[in-house]
Amino acid sequence: TVYGLRTVEPHHDGCPHWHVLVFTRPGDADALIRTLRSYALADSPNEPGADTRRFTVERIDPSKGSAAAYIAKYVSKSIDGHALDGDTESDEDGPTAASHIVAWARLWGIRQFQFFGLPAITPTRELYRHNGEGLGSQALTQAHEACKAKDYAGYLGALEAHAIALDVRYEPRPSSRYAGEIAHAIRGLVASAADMQAPLTLTTRTETWRIQPRPAQHNSAGPAAPWTRFNNCAAPMKSRTCEPATERVPVGRPARNGNRGQQAPPKGRARPKATLKPPETHHANRIE
């Protein structure tokens, strides 16, 4: 059994660089490493530095830190750079490097995180939705209680200890988006375990949702409902960019911004200054 988590970040030239955290039985570690190394060197094995740099292995040393601490650094580098002093690859601070990594991954459609070797997560979520009534199995009850307690390790332990199998159950229904098409919606699970004589069908979803246009509103007297789920009328926000500006107005020239038509001041008097008032508010959906 091999399981773990893969993360990715770019090299200087944009080449994806994987960091993989792998758990396996001690007796299988050497064979696993040989297999992975053969795949890493299958393409252009004679490239300079390929045998030493393309594939490296470091066994977890508790004196240096835990597995979670090792992988958390690379997860943070690929999200927002939180709690990172800097990036040795780019010599930038953590948040700046993280923003570049995220942009790189989105540009090329690269999946940044991937768990492997673990059961599918959809049955876990569906079992969490169940109310726990009528399970009729101590093994299934144990797995359900672990889901409700958000104890994923306990959930995995229950699956292995009691040979629990959870399959997602789909039901066909007319598509709510395209006429004449049939869609498949999740309705529940089909569960089996060592202490069950026959598989059990569980229903986890009872509501049926569909997309339909909003009915036309003919009453124009009252306020109308918004066209979408979003409200574009953002609250006023004080401007942080516009500051009061002062402009000198030459004598004998009409002033701008409301001062047109005024006579120039007599000689010997100070020249007036026209103050341009900044906008009082800026709205989020308007560019000033």
Residues known to be catalytic: 70, 74
For the chain, how are helix, strand and coil distributed in percent, rounded to 5?
25, 20, 55
| Cβ atoms 164, 192 nearer than 8 A | yes
Instruction: Give the span between the Cα atoms of 191 and 287, in whole angstroms.
Output: 56
Q: Which amino acid is at 132?
A: G
**With the C-alpha atoms ordered 55, 41, 88, 70, is the resulting torsion angle positive or negative?**
negative
| Cβ atoms 207, 188 nearer than 8 A | no
Neighbour count for residue 150 (Cβ, 10 Å)? 9
Instruction: Give the span between the Cα atoms of 258 and 249, in whole angstroms.
Output: 12
The DSSP annotation for 109-173 comes to T---EEEESS--HHHHHHHHHS--TT---HHHHHHHHHHHTT-HHHHHHHHHHTT-EEEEEEEEE
| Cβ atoms 40, 33 nearer than 8 A | no
For residue 202, report the phi and psi dihedrals to the nearest 5 degrees: -115, 135
